[in-house]
Amino acid sequence: MKTTRRDILLFAGGSAVGVLMTPAPWRLITDSALWSENWPGIPRPARGAITAKYTNCALCAAGCAVRARCVAEQPVSLVGVAGHPLSHGAMCAYGLAGHHLPYHPARVTRGPVEEAATAVAGAMARLGANERVAVLDLRPGRTASWTYRRAMAAVKNGVYVEVGDVGNSAIDLTKARTVLSLSVPLLEGWGTPGNVIAARAGFHLIQAEAVESRTAAMADQWLRIKAGSEEALGQGILLALGGQSTAAAAEATGIPEQQILALASELKQNGPALVVGGAGSQSAAQLAAQLNDALGALGRTIVARRDAPVPDGWKKAAPAVDLASVEDGSIRVLLIDESAPGAYLPWSDVEPKLVRDNPVVVALGWTREGYGRHAQYLLPTGVYPEVAEDIPRAVDSVEAVFRMAVPLVQAPQGVVKPEEWIAKAAGLEVGDTLRERADAIHKAGRGTLFTYADGKSVATKDVKTDDFWKALQAGACWMDEVEPAKRPAAVKVAAGATRQAAGSANDLPLVAMLTEAPSSPLLSKIYQESNLKLGPKQVAIHPDEARAAGVEDGARAVLETLAGRIDVEVRVDASVSRGAVLVARRAAVLDVCGAGVRAKVVRA
Amino acid sequence: MTIRGKIPFLAGTLMALGLGWVGFPYAINTRRPQPVDFSHKVHAEKGGTKCEDCHAFREDGTFAGIPTLDKCSGCHAAAMGTTVAEKNFIDQYVTPNREPQWADYARQPENVFFSHSVHVKRAGMTCESCHGPTGASDSLRPYREDRISGYPAEIWKVSGTNHGMKMADCVDCHRSKRMEQSCLDCHK
């Protein structure tokens, strides 16, 4: 039989029909889909022994105790440590995703380390008589902060500038029965989350704020004051406590006079009371201190706190000053440690302090979104949980504490340790400062050591020096012994975490509210690929405010504050309170607009 | 189509069916023997061991999976019996302290989190529910791996059962228990 072309085509057709009745094509489709999940570029989680490591979260000063579940030494999930006397096993959303931070898309891992060192050395050699070398420490209270102070004491005209220190006083929420918060985000990242939650049932919270923040929503009472009238309210309460008229305060805050009188009465009658707020300006801080003094809070809900011991040799150090006290146009060399996520001082506050002709600004940070945008040199640093660092005291930690974030993953090649780099630039020789600090604490013999793996506390004096250090490296917390509550010498509470005081311009009708910054790639992926969170230069306002400003959803506009202007894209969102503008917590935005700042949206 | 015309068509169909049902399943997978000819049956019947004696849960509740050599050496520090498999195991692994490279019949994709603890301890499921009658097998079947996807062939059908270990199989079971709502249970 002769095979024709028609036979071949029929055979092929029959084969095609037959194949469709077998699992082959469907399996190939499935396999191809599965294969596409395993491209060579797709990272593969390590496989290996499952272990638990302990550390402390360094994302903020709360320093919550962390248990890291590791697979093949790689942390895959973080949880709190149950039974911890300060953090009580709780962690915030960012803390739970903290192990993603080293992989953040904005991470910087390379920088001109040698060039920066040469430039700094040259500028320091040519330093004028009235010019200064300054370290700007965005997270004071650490062992590294002591190194900066020592370094600045070792150089000519050195000055150590700290941002957001809480001083030597602490807030004891467990003793408070009535708390008045002047726009402080008390329940959303102010203190130690677990500690605040644990104490929450014991006090009546009154939140005075212009917008319904999360804290306002969760408070027992929300006083909706006019934007920027926190100081006026505080002044009114002071007057009410002194039996004077509060008419002016009522006018300024928009709250009836009777309500201010009732509030003052409640604070006085239902004590111990506490007023939290006032770090936005000197006058506001002084007012909050006056209020607490008048209410008898000092020594009861605001108590003196000792610092963790330091080696005697460290005490020859430069004093800590705030940026405002540094003369304008005086800083020739500015070294900024922004290795820890979170804190940021608007560049508009920093820039006037620099000399006009070629200042040398070196930012040591993990991301290029901070001061790296303004500095000549951005040097990459390790970030939690890559580096060993201690964590400063939390505002609500009554005892002095010392705990460290210990490395859970290896830092990339080429990153610098800010403490060592700045010390070297200043010609200061430093050893293992964390170990020296731990030895000094052990030598003092005070307090207890709480170890996380077994959840036990042991007196410091019962632990050998080496064992004390090993325990701290394995995730442990030293806590000073509890002393009778004392009145602090000077009160400077709630700094840093407090919403900034509003400006006074009446033509800025809105109050800025900040969204949280995405700190993990997982969160930022959601954030980048959806409209769940605001983009870097987006603002959200209520439809009524949008109509008043003459802007529509998606329109280009300008956000104006007293500090400056920034181009933004407007999102119109009915869930945003009237009178508020929601902005993203990004450095570019923070340069002109902080939380609580008066602002205005105008058409571009 | 004439009778003459139907012959090549049917021949093509039959050839494709044969290749698709017999040749393709064979060709799509690679095969390799397990490093040791292990008998679950002997260990269960003569040794009196239970699944969880070797496939144990750690103190923190996580599942240890396939036991490591340390576990085996606890009993097999010296040869127990005179079989070839036993001699091979002692000579090649126990004496040189070399970990056997077991191939996992049930390896899941990287984007799946599976908790043995929840299924065994909380739901009370038996090992056989998913893994089939492996515990009664007298020797380890060869490990077959899909050439394209790289996953074990038993993901499609577990030996001795009528189900596989793909997401659809998990969903079927969860749906029957009315617990299919949460994607994040597995895809964390």
- A177-234 residue pLDDT tens: 999 999 888 998 889 999 999 999 999 999 998 878 889 999 999 999 887 788 899 9
Residues A369 and A283 in one domain: no
Domain that holds residue A24: 5-36
Residues A234 and A313 in one domain: no
- Cβ atoms A565, A348 nearer than 8 A: no
Question: Between helices A24-36 and A5-20, what is the axis angle to 10°?
Answer: 60
Q: In Å, how far is B137's CA from the nearest CA of chain A? A: 28
> What's the confidence (pLDDT) of residue A585?
79
Q: In Å, how far is B125's CA from the nearest CA of chain A? A: 24
Can you give the pTM of this predicted structure? Answer: 0.77
**B contacts of A37 (beta carbons < 8 Å):** 109-111
> What's the confidence (pLDDT) of residue B3?
74
Position with higher pLDDT, A186 vs A506:
A186
Residues A549 and A439 in one domain: no
Q: In Å, how far is A594's CA from the nearest CA of chain B? A: 34
Of the residues A258, A277, A300, which one is the last residue of a structural domain?
A300
Of B1, B11, B19, the CB nearest to A11: B11
| Separation between Cα atoms, residue A306 and residue A485, nearest integer Å | 11
> What's the confidence (pLDDT) of residue B125?
93
Is A488 a domain residue? no
Position with higher pLDDT, A56 vs A271:
A56
Complex prediction ipTM: 0.80
Cα A584–chain centre separation: 14
Q: CB distance B15–A15 less than 8 Å?
A: yes
Question: Using one digit for the tens of pLDDT, what is the confidence trace for A335-368?
Answer: 999 998 767 888 888 999 999 999 999 999 998 8
Considering only the C-alpha atoms of chain B, give the largest distance between any 2 of them, rounded to a whole number of Å.
73
Instruction: Give the H/E segment covering residue B146.
Output: strand B143-146
The answer on pLDDT for A597 being more than 90 is no
CATH number at residue A191: 3.40.228.10
- Cβ atoms A596, A229 nearer than 8 A: no
Of the residues A300, A316, A346, which one is the last residue of a structural domain?
A300
| Separation between Cα atoms, residue A312 and residue A400, nearest integer Å | 18
What average pLDDT score do residues B42-59 get?
88
Residues A361 and A420 in one domain: yes
Residues A221 and A329 in one domain: no
The answer on pLDDT for A519 being more than 80 is no
Residues A313 and A420 in one domain: yes
Number of structural domains (chain A) is: 4
What average pLDDT score do residues A401-406 get?
96
Q: CB distance A14–B149 less than 8 Å?
A: no
| Separation between Cα atoms, residue A383 and residue A378, nearest integer Å | 15
Mean pLDDT is highest, among A455-469, A563-577, B104-118, for A455-469
Residues A361 and A470 in one domain: yes
| Separation between Cα atoms, residue A364 and residue A381, nearest integer Å | 6
Indicate the pLDDT class of residue A521, thresholds 50, 70 and 90. low
Least confident residue range of A217-231, A518-532, B33-47, B54-68 = A518-532
Q: CB distance A14–B8 less than 8 Å?
A: yes
Closest C-alpha among A75, A343, A40 to residue A189: A343
> What's the confidence (pLDDT) of residue A281?
61
- Cβ atoms B37, B139 nearer than 8 A: yes
**Neighbour tally for A71: CB within 10 Å:** 16
Is A57 a domain residue? no
Q: CB distance B148–A18 less than 8 Å?
A: no
Is A590 a domain residue? yes
**B contacts of A6 (beta carbons < 8 Å):** 5
Is A494 a domain residue? no
Report the sign of the C-alpha dihedral through residues A297, A299, A303, A307, in that order. Answer: positive
Question: Using one digit for the tens of pLDDT, what is the confidence trace for A373-400?
Answer: 999 999 999 999 999 999 998 989 999 9
Closest C-alpha among A566, A572, A574 to residue A552: A572
Indicate the pLDDT class of residue A497, thresholds 50, 70 and 90. very low
Of B11, B13, B149, the CB nearest to A34: B149
Question: Using one digit for the tens of pLDDT, what is the confidence trace for A546-588?
Answer: 999 999 999 999 998 888 888 999 999 888 878 888 888 788 8
Interface test with B, best of A19, A39, A44, A96 (most B CBs within 10 A): A19
CATH number at residue A593: 2.40.40.20
Residues A517 and A460 in one domain: no
Interface test with B, best of A28, A29, A31 (most B CBs within 10 A): A31
Question: Between helices A230-241 and A282-294, what is the axis angle to 10°?
Answer: 30
What average pLDDT score do residues A528-534 get?
70
Is A77 a domain residue? no
Least confident residue range of A85-99, A572-586, B141-155 = A572-586
Mean pLDDT is highest, among A163-167, A463-467, B79-83, for A463-467
> What's the confidence (pLDDT) of residue A163?
83
Q: In Å, how far is B7's CA from the nearest CA of chain A? A: 8
Q: CB distance A24–B151 less than 8 Å?
A: no
Please provide the average confidence, as pLDDT, over all residues in chain A: 88
Residues A294 and A315 in one domain: no
**B contacts of A23 (beta carbons < 8 Å):** 20-21, 24-25
Q: CB distance A10–B109 less than 8 Å?
A: no
Q: CB distance B13–A18 less than 8 Å?
A: yes
Q: In Å, how far is A466's CA from the nearest CA of chain B? A: 29
Q: In Å, how far is B62's CA from the nearest CA of chain A? A: 8
Least confident residue range of A71-80, A510-519, A531-540 = A510-519
Question: Which of the 8 DSSP states describes residue B47?
Answer: S
The answer to whether B148 contacts chain A (CB < 8 Å) is: yes
The answer to whether B168 contacts chain A (CB < 8 Å) is: no
The answer on pLDDT for A494 being more than 70 is no
Is A71 a domain residue? no
> What's the confidence (pLDDT) of residue B2?
76
Interface test with A, best of B113, B117, B148, B169 (most A CBs within 10 A): B148
The answer on pLDDT for A499 being more than 80 is no
Indicate the pLDDT class of residue A501, thresholds 50, 70 and 90. very low
Residues A296 and A313 in one domain: no
Q: CB distance B16–A30 less than 8 Å?
A: no
Q: CB distance A23–B13 less than 8 Å?
A: no
Position with higher pLDDT, A106 vs B67:
B67
Is A99 a domain residue? no
Indicate the pLDDT class of residue A409, thresholds 50, 70 and 90. very high
Residues A192 and A292 in one domain: yes
DSSP A282-349: HHHHHHHHHHHHHTT-BTTTEEE-PPPP--GGGGS-PPEE-GGGSPTT-EEEEEEEE-SSS----HHH
CATH number at residue A345: 3.40.50
What average pLDDT score do residues A71-84 get?
92
> What's the confidence (pLDDT) of residue A512?
79
Indicate the pLDDT class of residue A524, thresholds 50, 70 and 90. low
Residues A467 and A565 in one domain: no
> What's the confidence (pLDDT) of residue A9?
94
Question: Using one digit for the tens of pLDDT, what is the confidence trace for A417-440?
Answer: 999 999 999 999 999 999 999 999
**Neighbour tally for A153: CB within 10 Å:** 17
**B contacts of A34 (beta carbons < 8 Å):** 109, 146, 148-151
**B contacts of A17 (beta carbons < 8 Å):** 9, 12-13, 16
Is A79 a domain residue? no
Q: CB distance B16–A22 less than 8 Å?
A: yes
Indicate the pLDDT class of residue A496, thresholds 50, 70 and 90. very low
> What's the confidence (pLDDT) of residue A563?
82
Phi, psi of A513 (to 5 degrees): -120, 140
The answer on pLDDT for A518 being more than 60 is no
**Neighbour tally for B100: CB within 10 Å:** 18
**A contacts of B146 (beta carbons < 8 Å):** 31, 34
A273 in helix, strand or coil?
strand
